[in-house]
Structure 1
Amino acid sequence: MPLHRGRPGWVVRPAPGRRGRTVVHDATCRRAVGDGTEPGTQEALDALMREGARACTDCDAAAVLVPALELGQGHG
């Protein structure tokens, strides 16, 4: 699913049925609806680095953010 330019960004939501865990979605992801925050890219990357967080694989989040995290390892 390509990133929709009309609503760029990310959404961090609680993982369904998993207390204390979060999922980062592309803002256009159908699973991004409901409770959540809409951080910028840096904040979305920070959210992914927290314990219990993962990137959604149904949208661009995993394809875009996970490689960005891997590139940043060892450079900070």
Structure 2
Amino acid sequence: MAYSEKVIDHYEKPRNVGTLDKNDTSVGTGLVGAPACGDVMKLQIKVTPEGIIEDAKFKTFGCGSAIASSSLITEWV
């Protein structure tokens, strides 16, 4: 299966990799996956008091498509 140029771009140059301060009350953290089976994704968002997402970061351990989709979702939010 061939990946699209957009998926390849996000895999080779992922955006918004990193972490936000977990002690910041405006930061929410989600973790999905299972280390035993492979892919694990941590997604964090920082939300203003008005409910607007002002930042998003991720860390993903897994295949190229998992990394690329994690990168893309941080641009969407």
Give TM class, smaller chain: under 0.3
Q: Which has the larger radius of gyration?
A: 2
Bigger fraction of residues in helix = 1
Bigger fraction of residues in strand = 2
TM-score when normalising by structure 1? 0.27
TM-score when normalising by structure 2? 0.27
